[in-house]
Amino acid sequence: MLPREVGYARPSTLAEALEVLAATDGARALAGGQTLVNVMKARVASPDALVDLNGLDELKGIELERDGGLEIGPMTTYTEIVESAEARARPVLGEVCAQIADVQVRNRGTVGGNICANDPTNHLPPLLVALGARMTITGSGGERTVDADEFFLGVYMTAVGPDELLTKIAVPPGRRDGFASVTIGRDGTCIVSAAVSLDGGPRVAIGCVDAVPHRATGVEAKLNGNTSIEAARAAAAGLGATLDPPDDIHATADYRRHVAEVVVARAVVQAGARGDRR
Amino acid sequence: MTAVETSRRISVEVNGVTYERDVEARRLLIHFIRDDVDLTGSHIGCDTGNCGACSVILDGKLVKSCMLLAVQADGASIRTVEGLAEGGELSPLQQAFHTHHALQCGFCTPGMLISATALLERSPQPTDEEIRKGLQGNICRCTGYWNIIKAVKAASGQEVVE
């Protein structure tokens, strides 16, 4: 399999990258390429030009803020999150990045690519919704900030416009987070995933059941600080009936409704077990 | 403005030798390595990013060379399976693969060797769990995983129970 002919540019500053994106018809940003290069090979995507973001040092790195929040550059790889001392301020981030695919993919794949691709089975969209992250999007007209709840618009679609780039992910301080999933093989594609954050929340987001991460507000309302498995199951009970998940070769819709309740309960217990000490 | 090009001249160091070639932007790194540089040790198993037979070490990081464009490797330094043996002597890992029968058909072996080399450089005494996690991006369709794990363990100087 070969991608069709494509243009390639490797800018070294954000301003240059935005300029090339705006000036080139059919241009797309290339982050880690662990999704995009594959779909180009299969010719599911056929951009006319690629703007490689790997030369943009300003989009890499993780900073720990004074209040305990994190600012993550979207071109930071999963491996860099796993190995980052700063990212341990919010331990769930490294734990989830360590569950994505395999060593090779984690070495190239980026946080920004994961959320901008917004494949419904990706790990980070529901996680960042549960954490209440805020995304900074930059275009030629300047910057704007979008809440994770508003960022994901549809399958493979986000609030980032064709001439714009995601330039920062701000994660508020907190610690009591959990993430659980049922996957196709270890660290494989999620069949259903759930992310829970009890700090500043509770916030519960389910992946793989809709085009965008599903905020389980009914479960959030029932969580009362008790994070025993019995209480977590009671809070999750009835969630499945409110979902309309896809039916595919990996699982039936009914199975996903059932598993959604199971993984939410597991994620709640995990979050509660973390305690609130730094 | 930064130029948008459909082909460009790149310079890539592979196993200590620098190669300069004109490549199309759409050319995958694995095709550059196999067809332009003529190092056919790295294999194409699945072409979809799943099997890991095309794994190489790019600037110290393990990657699958079917999921990178060759132009992205401009200026980089790459190690492939051909770079593991020194002066005709197998590396301790390659020798351990031989001793412990860690290959059957051999198709996945170059990727397994490169991934295990990267693992042992990160973690010289890996546990069984670390070896499994370190090789999870490499698929052996003969399913000969047990002996591969034994070989990696032996190469790290740890005792292997047969």
The enclosing domain of A262 has a CATH number of 3.30.390.50
Q: Taking each helix axis from N to C terminus, what angle separates A229-236 and A253-273, rounded to the nearest 10 degrees?
A: 140
The first and second tokens of residue B80, run together, are: 């492939």
CB contact under 8 A, A37 and B28: yes
CA distance to partner chain B, nearest, from residue A5 (Å): 6
Q: Which of A16, A38, A103 sits opposite B134 (nearest CB)?
A: A103
Q: Where are the domains of chain B?
A: 7-83, 92-155
Mean pLDDT, residues A124-153:
97
pLDDT of residue A119: 96
pLDDT above 50: residue A192: yes
> Residue A178: which pLDDT band, with cuts at 50, 70 and 90?
very high
Residue A111 domain-assigned (yes or no): yes
Which CATH number characterizes residue A34's domain? 3.30.43.10
b (16+ CB within 10 A) / e for A186-208: ebbbbbbbbbbbbbebbbbbbbb
Tell me if A9 and B3 make a contact (CB, 8 A cut-off): yes
What is the Cα–Cα distance from A159 to B122, expressed in whole angstroms?
A: 38
A30 within some domain: yes
> Which residues of chain A have a Cβ shorter than 8 Å from any chain B Cβ?
1-12, 16-17, 19-20, 23-24, 27, 33-34, 37-38, 40-42, 49-50, 52, 54, 79, 101-105, 107-108, 186-187
Asked if residue A278 belongs to a domain, the reply is no
In a domain, A252, yes or no: yes
Task: Please determine whether the domains at B7-83 and B92-155 fall in the same fold group of CATH.
Answer: no
Q: Say what the pLDDT of residue B7 is.
A: 97
Q: Is the pLDDT of residue A278 over 80?
A: no
CB within 8 Å: A5 and B4: no
Q: Are residues A194 and A166 in the same domain?
A: no
Query: Which tokens sit at A118?
Result: 């917004």
The pLDDT value given to residue A86: 97
Domain annotation covers residue A2: no
Closest-CA distance of chain A to residue B5, Å: 5
Does B160 score more than 50 pLDDT?
A: yes
Tokens of B64: 């699958």
A277 pLDDT more than 50: no
Look at residue B89 in the predicted model and tell me its pLDDT.
96
CB A48, CB A8: distance < 8 Å: no
Whether residue A240 has pLDDT greater than 50: yes
pLDDT bucket at A60, cuts 50 / 70 / 90: very high
Is the model's pTM score more than 0.90? yes
Residue B18 has pLDDT above 70, yes or no: yes
Interface of B with A (CB under 8 A): 1-6, 8, 24-26, 28, 47-49, 52, 55, 61-64, 66-69, 71-72, 74, 115, 118-119, 133-134, 136-138
Query: Is there a domain that residue A204 lies in?
Result: yes
Please say whether the structural domain B7-83 has been given the CATH code 3.20.20.110.
Answer: no
Task: Locate the DSSP E strands across chain B.
Answer: 7-14, 17-24, 55-58, 61-64, 77-79
Q: Domain for residue A139, yes or no?
A: yes
- The Cα of B87 is separated from the nearest Cα of chain A by a number of Å equal to 28
Percent of chain A with pLDDT over 70: 99
CATH number (domain holding residue A114):
3.30.465.10
A49 lies in the same domain as A94: no
User: What are φ and ψ of residue A71, in 5° steps?
Assistant: -115, 120
**Would residue A1 count as lying in a domain?**
no
Q: Which chain A residue's Cα is nearest to B74?
A: A10
A102–B52 CB contact, under 8 Å: yes
Looking at CA atoms only, how far is residue B90 from chain A in angstroms? 24
Whether residue A275 is predicted with pLDDT greater than 70 in this model: the reply is: yes
- For residue A34, what are its two tokens? 């662990």
**pLDDT, mean of residues A121-149:** 97
Q: Do A197 and A154 belong to one domain?
A: no
The number of domains in chain A is: 3
A95 with A160, same domain?
Answer: yes
pLDDT band at A276 (very low <50, low <70, confident <90, very high): low
Cis ω for the linkage preceding A202 (within 30 of 0): yes
Range B92-155 has CATH code 1.10.150.120: yes
Report the percentage of chain B scoring pLDDT > 90.
96
pLDDT number for residue B63:
98
pLDDT tens profile B90-137: 999 999 999 999 999 999 999 999 999 999 999 999 999 999 999 999
Q: Based on the fold, state whether residues A51 and A63 are members of the same structural domain.
A: no
Judgement on whether residues A182 and A240 belong to the same structural domain of the protein: yes
Q: Which domain holds residue A23?
A: 7-55
Q: How many CA atoms lie within 13 A of A98 on its CB side?
A: 15
What number of C-beta contacts closer than 8 Å exist between A and B? 109
Task: List beta partners, residue A49.
Answer: A7, A27
Cα gap B14→B39, rounded to integer Å: 9
Query: Do A190 and A84 form a contact (C-beta atoms < 8 A)?
Result: no
Nearest chain A Cα distance for residue B150, angstroms: 20
CB contact under 8 A, A20 and B61: no
In sequence order, the β-bridge partners of residue A241 are: none
Q: Could you tell me how many residues make up chain A?
A: 278
- Chain B residues inside the 8 Å CB shell of A17: 2
Dihedral, A266, A268, A270, A274 alpha carbons, nearest 10: -170
